[in-house]
Chains A and B, each alone.
Chain A
């Protein structure tokens, strides 16, 4: 019974925390609170486009991953930014310097490994139709 109460309290704590730091959350199911997935569309690289699931806390922010590809707050071009990159080989594809808790939907720029010609991604919590 005490264990159950603890779980409920922890879920409530996470929900409040997510409201405070503006993290969008999925419905709190029995397994806990998991951030919604992110969908990347619009790039001309099929490895990049697709669904990214919650991965880990990285640089004090939530990150999402699709295999080795990740969306996370990291260093790029002498600044900090949201970056779409490959964890295994450190290749960086797109970045967005907007300093907010959640990856911005638009305004992404191309980094060194982005496919050419550069097409800007859209990062969304909804699976948008590809352009």
Chain B
């Protein structure tokens, strides 16, 4: 019996060693290859163009086998590639979409060198039965911001569809201003944009959307003289059309902190510190401050309408203390934060503002509210402070009547995710993110009726590698409606 003990001990040790080696090898096998796009469990719209699958591989592989295997008897899609990317052919992608509406489609990538397997990884994706349909209107700018400001005419606007394989066409360019703030009515008939008309920074132009949408002097209104305050100019920040296109709400007497920052990633600090909200009624062509959002003790800005037009949600904060040190803001030693407030619109008469629970008084800055088209949810951006281009900006969703806010699944951890817009059918949300580049790209996430969103997919052909895409907005129009916006101001 004594003689049996040593071999048993050795056998157990050998088995342990073998298992450990297997685990290590398996880990090394998986670790050296990582599929970076698509994101695990991402959901594609059924009208999405073939995406580019991309992976990183630290091994010495010189070719990779990509397979998309189906659970039924459909033949597996398989091919060898010599670069760390693969785009399915249109007919392959069509099949992949058809076969992944109800179950996961698993894409495998295996690295080879001289016919020897080196590493591999898989990613699961699905396809939604919901299509996007509507095109996305967005702006494309150079970075850093100072470069764009010095060359405003380099800024251009494109109108893109997720199904298109080529880069979306430019529909507006050569504007002498940033024209940041644009919005369209819910029915896609009317568009409004910032304008700089005859030296009036508070000018705003409204136009009917057509094949050739004309920005003409006849469509210009001015926020500058609604409730003028001595020495305070109006820029008309964050103007927004009501869903029926009858009203426009905007910030007036707006004063902002604006600083250019060094570096390309987050190259400006911009946030309003004074201002109130006014309304323009397109029916009787009258302006009035919006009661409940016109308190000079606060900054009130960034108004949005609920889909039924009965409620306005806006951002509010105490007006900036004039002794505040802007250098502290730049160095992020001090922060300026906003709360979301809601008030009854009452056809422009306003009412009593109330904080939106879950998006206010939480020690964070809450801004860029957007209602889902069914009116059930508000999606907003949250960061430690300020508003535009914040490195920690993340997207949150909260019940429209207020409640517990939830960080959305589409966010990239520690990367700016902001500027969002919901598709007219309410199924998809486009947003800007600095996911893997200083140049902001547009991403798309699916949102179900419970407000649950999916890991996003990239609108990869929407932007050049040296341009940032931002302020995307879905337009509720058919594909052939808008070809060009012509500035006649």
- Chain A residues with CB under 8 Å of chain B are 75-80, 88-92, 97, 108-120
Contact A75 B232 (CB under 8 A): no
With A92-B258, A109-B233, A110-B232 given, can you name 9 additional A-B contacts, CB distance below 8 Å?
A78-B149, A80-B149, A89-B325, A90-B330, A91-B324, A91-B325, A110-B231, A111-B255, A120-B231
Q: Which residues of B contact A110 (CB under 8 A)?
A: 231-232, 255
Q: Which residues of A contact B256 (CB under 8 A)?
A: 77, 112
Given contacts A110-B231, A112-B273, A117-B230, contact A78 B327 (CB under 8 A): no
Contact A91 B326 (CB under 8 A): yes
Q: Give A120 to B273 CA distance when docked, in angstroms.
A: 19
Q: How far is the CB of B313 from chain A (nearest CB, A)?
A: 24
Q: Give A110 to B327 CA distance when docked, in angstroms.
A: 19
Contact A118 B231 (CB under 8 A): yes
Q: Which residues of A contact B180 (CB under 8 A)?
A: 78
Q: How far is the CB of B470 from chain A (nearest CB, A)?
A: 14
Among A77, A78, A89, A109, point to the contact of B231 (Cβ < 8 A). Answer: A109
User: Which residues of chain B from 228 to 246 have any CB-CB distance to chain A below 8 Å in the complex?
Assistant: 229-233, 235
Q: How far is the CB of A97 from chain B (nearest CB, A)?
A: 8
Q: How far is the CB of A19 from chain B (nearest CB, A)?
A: 27
- Decide if B221 is an interface residue (CB 8 Å cutoff): no
User: Which residues of chain B from 287 to 339 have any CB-CB distance to chain A below 8 Å in the complex?
Assistant: 320, 322-328, 330
- Decide if B178 is an interface residue (CB 8 Å cutoff): yes
Given contacts A90-B327, A120-B230, contact A78 B270 (CB under 8 A): yes
Of all chain A residues, which has the CB nearest B270? Answer: A78
- Decide if B364 is an interface residue (CB 8 Å cutoff): no
- Decide if B146 is an interface residue (CB 8 Å cutoff): yes
Q: Specify the main secondary structure of chain B where it touches its partner.
A: mixed
Selected A-B contacts with CB under 8 Å, 25 pairs: A75-B259, A75-B260, A76-B258, A78-B178, A79-B149, A80-B149, A80-B150, A88-B327, A89-B325, A89-B327, A89-B328, A91-B324, A92-B326, A112-B257, A112-B320, A112-B326, A114-B231, A114-B322, A115-B322, A116-B322, A117-B229, A118-B229, A118-B230, A118-B232, A120-B230
Q: How far is the CB of A92 from chain B (nearest CB, A)?
A: 7
- Decide if B182 is an interface residue (CB 8 Å cutoff): no
Q: Which residues of A contact B323 (CB under 8 A)?
A: 113
How many residue-residue contacts, CB under 8 A, span A and B? 71
Interface residue tally for chain B (C-beta within 8 Å): 30
- Decide if B274 is an interface residue (CB 8 Å cutoff): yes
Q: Specify the main secondary structure of chain A where it touches its partner.
A: loop
Q: How far is the CB of A115 from chain B (nearest CB, A)?
A: 6
Q: How far is the CB of B128 from chain A (nearest CB, A)?
A: 38
Q: Which 3 A-B pairs have the closest CB atoms?
A: A118-B231, A89-B327, A90-B326
Q: Give A98 to B323 CA distance when docked, in angstroms.
A: 27
Q: Which residues of A contact B270 (CB under 8 A)?
A: 78
Q: Which residues of B contact A90 (CB under 8 A)?
A: 259, 326-327, 330
Q: Give A119 to B259 CA distance when docked, in angstroms.
A: 23
Identify which of B256, B326, B328 gathers the most chain A CB atoms within 10 Å of its CB. Answer: B326
Q: Give A79 to B180 CA distance when docked, in angstroms.
A: 13
Q: How far is the CB of B264 from chain A (nearest CB, A)?
A: 16
Q: Which residues of B contact A88 (CB under 8 A)?
A: 327
Q: Which residues of A contact B255 (CB under 8 A)?
A: 110-112, 114
Of all chain B residues, which has the CB nearest A113? Answer: B322
Q: Which residues of B contact A116 (CB under 8 A)?
A: 322
Q: Give A85 to B259 CA distance when docked, in angstroms.
A: 12
Q: Give A111 to B229 CA distance when docked, in angstroms.
A: 13
Q: How far is the CB of A98 from chain B (nearest CB, A)?
A: 10
Of all chain B residues, which has the CB nearest A115? Answer: B322
Q: Which residues of A contact B259 (CB under 8 A)?
A: 75, 90
Q: How far is the CB of A108 from chain B (nearest CB, A)?
A: 7
Q: Which residues of A contact B325 (CB under 8 A)?
A: 89, 91
Q: Give A91 to B258 CA distance when docked, in angstroms.
A: 10
Q: How far is the CB of A38 from chain B (nearest CB, A)?
A: 19
Q: How far is the CB of A119 from chain B (nearest CB, A)?
A: 6
Among A76, A77, A119, point to the contact of B230 (Cβ < 8 A). Answer: A119
Among A76, A79, A113, A115, point to the contact of B324 (Cβ < 8 A). Answer: A113
Contact B258 A78 (CB under 8 A): yes
Q: How far is the CB of A123 from chain B (nearest CB, A)?
A: 14
Q: Which residues of A contact B232 (CB under 8 A)?
A: 109-110, 118
Q: Which residues of B contact A115 (CB under 8 A)?
A: 322
Contact B324 A77 (CB under 8 A): no
Q: How far is the CB of A82 from chain B (nearest CB, A)?
A: 14
Q: Give A117 to B255 CA distance when docked, in angstroms.
A: 13
Q: Which residues of B contact A119 (CB under 8 A)?
A: 230-231
Q: How far is the CB of B233 from chain A (nearest CB, A)?
A: 4
Q: Which residues of A contact B233 (CB under 8 A)?
A: 109
Contact A75 B326 (CB under 8 A): no
Q: Give A116 to B255 CA distance when docked, in angstroms.
A: 12
Q: Which residues of B contact A79 (CB under 8 A)?
A: 149
Contact B146 A75 (CB under 8 A): yes
Q: How far is the CB of A50 from chain B (nearest CB, A)?
A: 18
Q: Which residues of B contact A112 (CB under 8 A)?
A: 255-257, 273-274, 320, 322, 326
Of all chain B residues, which has the CB nearest A43? Answer: B231
